[in-house]
Amino acid sequence: MTNATQYFAADSARIDLIVVKDMVAANTRVLDIGCGDGTLLRMLAEERGVDARGMELSQRGVNDCVAKGLSVIQGDADTDLADYPDDSFDYVILSQTLQATRNPRRVLEQMLRIGKRAIVSFPNFGHWRIRLQIMFAGRMPITENLPLAWYETPNIHFCTIRDFVSLVDEVDGQIERAVALDPSGAPMRVNAPWWIWNLFGEQAVFLLERRA
Amino acid sequence: MTEIDPLKAGHAARREVDAPHSLVLSLPADRPLMMDAGVALAPLTIAYQTYGTLNADKTNAILVCHALTGDQHVANTHPLTGKPGWWEIMVGPGKPIDTDRYFVICSNVLGGCLGTTGPASTNPATGMPFGLDMPMVTIRDMVRAQALLVDQLGIGKLFCVIGGSMGGMQVLQWAAIYPERVFCAIPIATAPRHSSQNIAFNEVGRQAVMADPEWAGGRYFELGKSPTKGLAVARMAAHITYLSDEALHRKFGRKLQNKTAPTFSFDADFQIESYLRHQGSTFVERFDANTYLYLTRAMDYFDLAEDYDGSLARAFKDTKTRFCIVSFTSDWLFPTSASRSIVHALNANSASVSFVEIDTDKGHDAFLLDVPDLLATTSGFIESSARAFGLTEAKSA
């Protein structure tokens, strides 16, 4: 888990933050895990009146956030979520970071425990361009949004949209909303079937809650 | 070692004890301080300094808590040493703790030797210095005394309480026992309890003082003695723990002091030896040996969780205080792991907490030094807290 923005192209990729922001109700309490330089925290605080807290692994990111007056701690999604009591937050957000955690399943479980809702965004490894690169080049894919080679990427646990949907089911979560973004960052047709999303969605954003 | 005139050292320090160059709050005998040692201390004197102006609502007060060998002279010339205040990098006009906007208070801790009642103060019952008749002081006692001062200044809620090292312990204690009186708290380079290693270092220092025959069971003032040698050794040993190996190496290496070859003697051949001797000899001119014993002991006894059935989280139960916790990568005396345990306890309460570990090779002393990340963190946090507290800018830059 690092400052996500440095691993993703700056222009199109962070549109997912807008999608995430729009899923958060006003005047709620939010924890953003892997908050990077605090862009989302700021948007949430300023535009939604949210009590926004952040956790970030990189020291530089934390220092920048705190100097900007954001409430951020240095911490690791894999180890530091266990301290929080149940239902500490209305939303726990993990944007473009799940694939960089050591134990994504455990992280997702913790998110659904300490948050009433969880919002997760991640790059879809099932996108057709990635499938084509593996199929025809026989190499680990390098794309605009995933620009680093396999040996230097912090992303150690890639998944497809379908993979994620089944993980949600395994950890007793349920999907309240889901949005796939095409390579231009535009949300895809809501009623498209899963296989379309899994093939053409470059990123996905999920709003989750515990299964009742 | 530089020869020290014990009488001169003793006299200068003595003057500040009973007649400090400071503001003084004298609490009458009918308003005693109830101490953890089970003693009602009265009369009580608290020496303090203030900077800036208290606003009409009395909402812009920042309490600075000083460290073991610090004092209330945060941002003014020191009356004994003639040197600048110990935190002028942090406190002053336009500084992170901006005295154009905030009313800054710092008092000499209980047990200190710069005017607040301590072992060097004259015991009104005997007319002689307390010496070891001074009841043992705890961090909580220090904070209770500060609360009396804050009461006296008519301040209900402090906007901010900040301090490093032993000062950070006081910040944590404030947040634990007076949560409704602290809007935001900045404990720097500190720990929720003193570690075994730190108790060990303190014990070495105390034994150095008490092994000096001039200490005379703590009655050195009456006997015209002064345990400057023991106290200097204590300071030398402690000073090493405030620095990092890296910083020492960068600053001194194995360089020789004013010579090109070793003398094959026990003179201060190495620059580091000369530096430490200087630290020791200047320290004893401004500090009281018994105070050193009492304050190191207060740190040893500090274990915040112990007061709450062993649960640090319970010390901060449902706290509304906003915290900003700071540690330094090269601080091995109060390592980041100690700060992280505070963060964990606060997270368990879903408290508002920021936590920054600052990359520096300056060791524990980094909190006193010009470390840009520390200044940026502090001013960013104070600024956002001021907005949240409804403090509007008094003067724009």
| Structural domains for chain B | 6-193+305-388 (3.40.50.1820)
Q: What is the pLDDT of residue B395?
A: 46
Least Cα distance to B155 among B107, B123, B191 occurs for B107
Task: Please report the sign of the dihedral spanned by the C-alpha atoms of residue B364, residue B367, residue B368, residue B372.
Answer: positive
Phi, psi of B246 (to 5 degrees): -60, -50
Beta strands in chain B (DSSP E): 23-27, 33-34, 40-41, 44-51, 61-65, 91-92, 97-98, 103-107, 122-123, 128-129, 158-164, 182-188, 322-328, 352-358
Contact A27, A50 (CB under 8 A): yes
Kindly report the average pLDDT of chain B as a whole number.
Answer: 94
Triad B197, B200, B205: Cα angle to 5°: 135
Is B141 noted as a catalytic residue in this protein?
no
Question: Closest partner residue to A74 among B355, B373, B383, by Cβ?
Answer: B355
Is B344 noted as a catalytic residue in this protein?
no
Count: domains in chain A: 1
Chain A residues with CB under 8 Å of B359 CB are 59
CATH code at A206? 3.40.50.150
Q: What ipTM was predicted for this assembly?
A: 0.82
> Which residue matches tokens 């907005």?
B387
Give per-residue pLDDT as tens, B187-224: 999 999 999 999 999 999 999 999 999 999 999 999 99
Contact A17, A38 (CB under 8 A): no
What percentage of chain B reaches a pLDDT higher than 70?
95
- pTM as predicted: 0.91
* Chain B closest-CA separation from residue A51 CA (Å): 9
Sorting pLDDT into bands at 50, 70 and 90, what band is A190? Answer: low
Check B165, B244, B274, B327 and give the catalytic one: B165
User: Which burial class, exposed, middle or buried, applies to A162 when counting CB atoms under 10 A from its CB (0-12, 13-18, 19+)?
Assistant: middle
**DSSP assignment of A104-154:** HHHHHHHHHHHEEEEEEEEEBTT-HHHHHIIIII-S----SSS-S-TTT-S
Q: What is the pLDDT of residue B7?
A: 45
Please report, to the nearest 10 degrees, the dihedral formed by the alpha carbons of residues B183, B189, B195, B201 taken in order: -130
Q: Which residue range is the domain that position A99 belongs to?
A: 4-210
Q: What is the pLDDT of residue A144?
A: 80
Q: Which of A53, A60, A66, A88 to mutate to test the interface with B (most CBs of B within 10 A)?
A: A66
Q: How far is CA A199 from CA A104, A125, A126, A129, A141, in A?
A: 22, 9, 6, 9, 15
Give per-residue pLDDT as tens, A120-151: 999 998 888 888 888 898 988 888 878 899 99
Chain B residues with CB under 8 Å of A59 CB are 356-359
Does pLDDT of A3 surpass 80?
no
Least Cα distance to B386 among B159, B217, B193 occurs for B159
Q: Reduce the DSSP state of residue B280 to 3 states and report it.
A: helix
Dist CA B171 CA B168 (whole Å):
5
Question: Closest partner residue to A84 among B322, B350, B357, by Cβ?
Answer: B350
Give per-residue pLDDT as tens, B60-113: 999 999 999 999 999 999 999 999 999 999 999 999 999 999 999 999 999 999
Chain A residues with CB under 8 Å of B353 CB are 53, 71, 73
Least Cα distance to B37 among B123, B133, B149, B178 occurs for B133
Contact B288, B120 (CB under 8 A): yes
Sorting pLDDT into bands at 50, 70 and 90, what band is A109? Answer: very high
Dist CA B340 CA B346 (whole Å):
10
- β-bridge pairing A173-181 and A203-210: antiparallel
